[in-house]
Amino acid sequence: AYSFPMTQDDPIYIQKQAPLGWMVFNRPAKRNAINQAMWSEFSKLLADLESDPEIRVIIFRGVGDTSFSCGMDVDELKALRDANDFTFSPMKPTTAAFDALAKCSKPTISMIHGECIGGGCAIALNTDLRIAADDAYFAMTPAKMGLGYPLKGIERMVQEVGASNARYLFVTAKKINAEHALRIGLVHEVHPKAALEAATIELAHTVASNAPKSIRAALKTIQQVLLSPSDRNSGAIRQWIADCTNSEDYEEGLNAFAEKRAPEFRDR
């Protein structure tokens, strides 16, 4: 049921299999490196999935057997540098993509096998959940290229794995394996590679079966918790909670519990 079109030519595309939506990196010959055109398409494709009422969870994956994504297309960056295009900032095209991902109103999951490096690792970091194959490995490599990394990107890494682990990853630029990534909180689950897709789909369906309003309230409140107390919007938090309490889904949840059946949430 979850087959992906082998004839798809687009380097990045979406596929809808409600309640799940997929964003697929499709440059296996380039280890799913993300070029400027793909970064430009990213926000628009994500918005398509986010606006579809039948899609409850969005999953990111890479085509092929070796890579989630090796990150930014270094050959393209080198060509721009060789052309003396000093007006081009290699980090600028990623900003809109990461902002869109951070603000996404639907839960997001990265399904990671093989290589998850640089910009690919940054995409995974900006999703809500990360599930990895046992062959996955991770690295943050700006120090191998002489790049300065944006504040928001480092902030996200610190939020997810802590300052000590972020320091290790950025200063050494070393690769870490899936078990190391699990230990520091870079991923949430590790599975044998052959079982990765099935485990990801099962996790996604688990999330999709829960109340969307409750999930949105929790994710937005977690974002507020990461702010300093003086910057938190306590009024908005109270409203998100009230929206859940006043919803039809809350009534359905109570009825389903009383009737000892699975609830059917409708996001209303």
H or E element in which residue 245 lies: helix 234-245
β partners of residue 20: 17, 57
Q: Tell whether the torsion through CA atoms of 77, 81, 82 and 87 is positive or negative.
A: positive
Give the predicted TM-score (pTM) of the model. 0.92
Rounded to whole angstroms, the Cα distance separating 49 from 232 reads: 29
- From residue 248, give the alpha-carbon distance in Å to each of 211, 212, 223, 243, 252: 10, 12, 25, 10, 6
Rounded to whole angstroms, the Cα distance separating 18 from 132 reads: 22
β partners of residue 191: 133
Residues of the chain with pLDDT under 50: 1
Rounded to whole angstroms, the Cα distance separating 83 from 79 reads: 6
What confidence tens digit (pLDDT) does each residue in 134-170 have?
A: 999 999 999 998 888 889 899 999 999 999 999 999 9
* Amino acid type, 223: Q
User: What is the model's pLDDT at position 4?
Assistant: 56
What confidence tens digit (pLDDT) does each residue in 22-54 have?
A: 999 999 999 999 998 899 899 999 999 999 999
The answer to whether residues 266 and 248 touch, using CB atoms and an 8 Å cutoff, is yes
User: What is the model's pLDDT at position 1?
Assistant: 43
β partners of residue 132: 112, 190
Rounded to whole angstroms, the Cα distance separating 243 from 72 reads: 40
What backbone phi and psi angles, to 5 degrees, belong to 130? -135, 125
User: What is the model's pLDDT at position 2?
Assistant: 52
Rounded to whole angstroms, the Cα distance separating 74 from 127 reads: 23
